[in-house]
Structure 1
Amino acid sequence: MSELLASIDQRTKLVGENRLELLLFQLNSQQIFAMNVFKVREVIAVPRMIKMPGSHENLCGVASLRGMSVPIVDLCKAIRMPKRPLGENQNVIITEYNRSVQGFLIGPVLNITNLSWSDILPPPKSAGKNNYLTAFTHIENKGKKQIVEIIDVEKVLAEIVAYDTQVSEKVLDDDVNTHLRGRKVLIVDDSATARAQIVDTLNQVGIQVIECNDGLQALKLLRSWANQGKKVTDEILMMFTDAEMPEMDGYMLTAEVRGDPRMSDLYITLNTSLSGSFNEAMVEKVGCDNFISKFQPDLLVTAAQTRMKQLLNKK
C-alpha cells in the first residue's frame, strides 16, 4: 500500500491543470467509490481502536497514529450503506480535510486513476439533496465502463462535527458592514454542505449570495453578464471558490477569469479544504487575491470586509 501512495507529492502538479487523481476503493459491494488522492495522507491496515463513550454513532473509535489521536469514521454507516463485519479486505484511509486529520474505514483499495475534471460530472438533480456524492465519473474496468461515485466528505464530517457558523463580535466592523448589506457575492462549491455554511456565515452581515455548483457553471454566469454589457464587479462584490469541483476546478476558473479583460479585476478568494502551504503557491500561480482554508467563519467575513474597505478607499 505504501508503494501505491509513495508518489503523491509528485502528483500535486496536477492541481491547477484541471486534472486530478482519484483513489478508488470499495465498501461492501461491487460499487466503486473515490476520494481525491491529494487529500489522502496514507492507506493503512485497520489499526487498534478505542471506542469513546458517548461518541457519534458513525465513529468506529479513535486510533493512536504516530502520537496523534485520529478518529476513524465508519464510511459505510456514514453514507447509510448496509454494514458488514471487519474482515481481511478492510483498510483505513487517513485524510486531511478542513485542517483536521481523520480516518475512514473502507473495504478493498483498487487503484489510482488520473482524470480531467471535465470528466467529472455532478450528480443528477433527481438524486435529491440527501445523497452523499459530490460527483461521479466513469472508468474502464476489464473492458467495461463502471460508474465511480465521489463521496461528499464534507457532508460526512459535518454530520459528525457540527460546524459553528457564528461570526465573532471582535471581527465585525460595523462601519464597513453598513456598506456590505445588500451586496452580492458569488460562491462556487460542489458541496451543498459547504455552500450552506458560507451562506449562513455571510448572511450575518447582510450579504446576499449567488450559488454555483462548479467552476464551469460559474464561468458561464460571469460570461453571460459580460456578454450583456454588464460590469461583473457591479454585479458581485467578490467570488469565493472551492478548488476541487466537477467539470472545472477553482484554479482553472480563476485563470479563465483573469484571462478575460471584461472580468479580470474580479476579487477572488480561494476557499478550500486542501493544505494551506500548497494553496499559497497556487494562489500566486493562478492569480487569486486571497486564500482561506475551510471552514473559518471569521475569515470569510474578514475577507468580505477587506474587499469592501478596498473599494471604499478608492472613492
Structure 2
Amino acid sequence: MAIKRVLSVVAVPFALWAMTAAALAQEMVGAPRDGEIGLQPAASPIAHQIHGFYDLLLVIILSVVAVVGLLLLWVIIRYNRKANPTPSKVTHNTLLEVVWTTIPVIILVLIAVPSFRLLYAEDVVPPADLVVKVTGHQWYWTYEYPDLDGITFDAIMIPERLFDDPAAASEREEAARQVAAFLGRDKPVKLHRLLDTDTRLVVPVGKVVKVQVTSTDVIHSWAVPAFGVKIDAIPGRLNESWFKAEKTGTFYGQCSELCGQRHAFMPIAIEVVSQEEFDRWVKKAKAEYGMAAADEAARPLRLAAR
C-alpha cells in the first residue's frame, strides 16, 4: 500500500508535466524551446533525410571513437614500461596496413552514398506548386509570389524591446494583433522574441514550394531548420531550393551568414496553413500587396507628375 501511495504521488505531477509539455509542443510547433537539445523536429521530407543522415554519422563517429579509445587504452595497459620493459622493434605489418586502410575506405563509402543521395534530393527541385522569391537586405527579408499577382511584402523583426520592457506589453499585444490581421485571423498570435516578424511567409501544407533566393547588398543565408533548408542569398545571383511542409503551424529560421551589425536580428517566420486558408489569404493579400494594389497606390503619383 505504501508503494502504491508513493507511485500515485509521483505519477500525478509527472502526468501534469507530460500534458503541459504536449500542449506546449503543440503551441510552439517549429519553434525552439528552453532546455531542449538536438535538432528541431523534422517537418519536411528533406529534413527527415537530413536527420537520418545525422543519426548514421553519429553511430559511425561514436563507433570509431569507441574502437580507437579502446585500442589506446589497451596499448597503454599492455605496452607501458612496467608491463613491457623491452619494446618491440616491428616496423612493418602488411596485414595491419591493409586492414587500417580498408576499414576507413569502407566507412567513407558508407558515408558518401547517402550523402550524395541527400545532396541530389536537395539540389533537384521537383515540379513546384508554389514559387516564392526571397530577397535579403540589411537586415530584413522581402517575399514575393510572382505567380500570384506579384504579392510582395517585407518581413521585419518585431522589436526586441517589446519583449524586454514590461511597459511595452500593450505594444506587443498590438504587434500580435497586426500579425494576426496579416494572416486573416481574429485572435492575436503568439510572438517569440528575436524570431517573429511583422509579416510571415505563408505557404500551404503538403505542397512543393520552390524558393528563389537573392540579395540586394551583401551575402545572407535563408535557413529554416525544420524544413532542412539553408541557401545563400548572393547579390546578382538567383539560387533555388525547395521544401514541402508536412504539418501546419509556425516555423522559424534565421539568417545564417554573417551580414553585418544586425545579422542576428533578421529572423524568418513561416506560417504553414491548409489549402483553404491559403486561398483565403491569397485573396486578401492580392488586394493589399499585389500588383493591382501597387498600381492603385501609384496612380495619384502618376497623375500628379503629369
TM range (shorter): under 0.3
TM-score (norm 1): 0.23
Whose strand proportion is higher, 1 or 2? 1
**TM-score of the superposed pair, with normalisation by structure 2:** 0.24
